[in-house]
């Protein structure tokens, strides 16, 4: 029996294969069809949704727990179905207690994502790099992880446990939690706002499951986690690095530049065309699959060979 091609393999299976492979996974954060298709076009093997990016772009609000389960799942379903690469989703706190997490997990699995992150913040949560965070009891979070693992119908569906405890309990507290979450069944651990290379290495050495790290490109002043070369993260044993701010921040900057040029051109009465700053319509059509749609139109509209 021949093995399935990557396009036919389940996203969950492809994600498991990436986790099992030797290379570190680089997973840009996506928030819409444009961003996830660009990630795939540029050759990245996986993507992750950015909860902040979805909350900001979909609802126009900060990442402070306002976006609910339905909004999140609906967005993730559209993103996941737009590409062939596996997409991991940010499920925030799981939207409640372990029973709620059980149903949340099934909703995300049905949406076609390859796995979810669940964090141990109190609800309503907030962006991991904001002040004022708090965390739930570690035992309650462990129960949430157990519920998520029990809920999945596909054993390859990835459950990632995120802890925000470093800001409150220090590195040792976060490591204790990470070990407990791994024991509860978490496939991967993510300690948000971790302090730097030494702390990341300590976490990698301390837990029995792969470690994911967030690199916060776009924080101009003092990033909570210092920026570290991706090659160095691979050297110290990080399995997956996510870049949730990169694409939303780049998109905002590009749109602001374009609007600024447009606004400045209005008083002059002149047409200011800057193709160096804009994707062409052909590029957009190609990115979104318009040529394939056109070929389908030609195929199904060709009635010459069809007998009445």
DSSP conformation class of 154: S
* 107, 108, 250 from 116: Cα distances, Å: 11, 7, 25
Residue 288 has pLDDT above 50, yes or no: yes
Q: Cα 293–296–299 angle (5° rounding)?
A: 155
Helices 69-81, 98-110: axis angle to 10 degrees equals 30
Task: Give the mean pLDDT of 130-148.
Answer: 91
Helix (H) or strand (E) holding 28: strand 25-30
Residue 39 has pLDDT above 90, yes or no: yes
122 pLDDT tier (thresholds 50, 70, 90): very high
**CB contact at 8 A, 241 and 188:** no
Q: For the chain, give the mean pLDDT.
A: 92
Q: Is 218 left (phi over 0), alpha (psi -120 to 50) or beta?
A: left
Q: What is the pLDDT of residues 234-263, one digit of tens each?
A: 999 999 999 999 999 999 999 999 999 999
Q: What is the pLDDT of residues 91-108, one digit of tens each?
A: 999 999 999 999 999 999
Task: Give the mean pLDDT of 85-92.
Answer: 97
Residue 130 has pLDDT above 90, yes or no: no
Domains and CATH numbers, the chain: 11-246 (3.20.20.60), 253-301 (no CATH)
Residue 1 has pLDDT above 50, yes or no: no
Question: pLDDT: is 182 or 267 the higher one?
Answer: 182
Range in 125-134, 167-176, 232-241 with the lowest mean pLDDT: 125-134
pTM of the model: 0.92
Task: Give the mean pLDDT of 117-136.
Answer: 83
**CB contact at 8 A, 101 and 94:** yes
What is d(CA 212, CA 91) in angstroms, rounded to the nearest whole number?
A: 16
Strands (E), the chain: 25-30, 47-49, 87-90, 115-119, 158-163, 188-191, 211-214, 240-243
Residue 174 has pLDDT above 50, yes or no: yes
Task: Give the mean pLDDT of 12-19.
Answer: 98
Q: What is the pLDDT of residue 133?
A: 82
What is d(CA 143, CA 130) in angstroms, rounded to the nearest whole number?
A: 26
**CB contact at 8 A, 138 and 111:** no
Q: What is the pLDDT of residue 5?
A: 54
Beta-bridge partners for 162: 119, 190
Residue 223 has pLDDT above 90, yes or no: no
Residue 139 has pLDDT above 50, yes or no: yes
| Token pair belonging to 54 | 């979805």
Range in 87-101, 171-185, 270-284 with the lowest mean pLDDT: 270-284
2 pLDDT tier (thresholds 50, 70, 90): very low
228 pLDDT tier (thresholds 50, 70, 90): very high
**Smallest Cα–Cα separation from 243: which of 64, 30, 11?**
30
């Amino acid at each position: 029996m021949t093995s399935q091609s990557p396009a036919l393999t389940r996203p969950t299976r492809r994600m498991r294969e990436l986790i099992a492979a030797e290379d570190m996974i680089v997973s840009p954060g996506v928030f819409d069809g444009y961003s996830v298709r660009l990630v795939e076009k540029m050759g990245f093997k996986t993507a992750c949704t950015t909860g902040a990016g979805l909350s900001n772009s979909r609802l126009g609000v900060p990442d402070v727990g306002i976006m609910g389960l339905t909004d999140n799942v609906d967005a993730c379903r559209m993103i996941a179905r737009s590409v062939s690469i596996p997409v991991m989703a940010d499920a925030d706190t799981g939207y409640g207690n372990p029973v709620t997490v059980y149903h949340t997990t099934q909703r995300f699995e049905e949406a076609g994502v390859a796995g979810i992150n669940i964090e141990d913040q109190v609800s309503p949560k907030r962006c991991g790099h904001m002040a004022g965070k708090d965390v739930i009891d570690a035992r309650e979070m462990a129960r949430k992880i157990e519920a998520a693992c029990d809920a999945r119908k596909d054993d390859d569906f990835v459950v990632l446990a995120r802890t925000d405890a470093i800001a409150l309990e220090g590195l040792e507290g976060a490591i204790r939690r990470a070990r407990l979450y791994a024991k509860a069944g978490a496939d991967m651990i993510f300690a948000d706002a971790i302090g730097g290379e030494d702390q990341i290495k300590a976490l990698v050495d301390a837990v029995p499951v792969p470690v994911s790290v967030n690199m916060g490109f776009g924080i101009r002043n003092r990033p909570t986690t210092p920026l570290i070369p991706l090659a160095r993260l691979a050297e110290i044993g990080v399995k997956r690095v996510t870049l949730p701010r990169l694409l939303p921040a780049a998109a905002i900057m590009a749109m602001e530049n374009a609007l600024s040029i447009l606004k400045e051109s209005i008083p002059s009465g002149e047409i200011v065309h800057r193709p160096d700053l804009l994707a062409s319509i052909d590029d957009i059509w190609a990115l979104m699959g318009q040529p394939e749609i056109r070929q389908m139109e030609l195929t199904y509209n060709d009635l010459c060979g069809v007998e009445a």
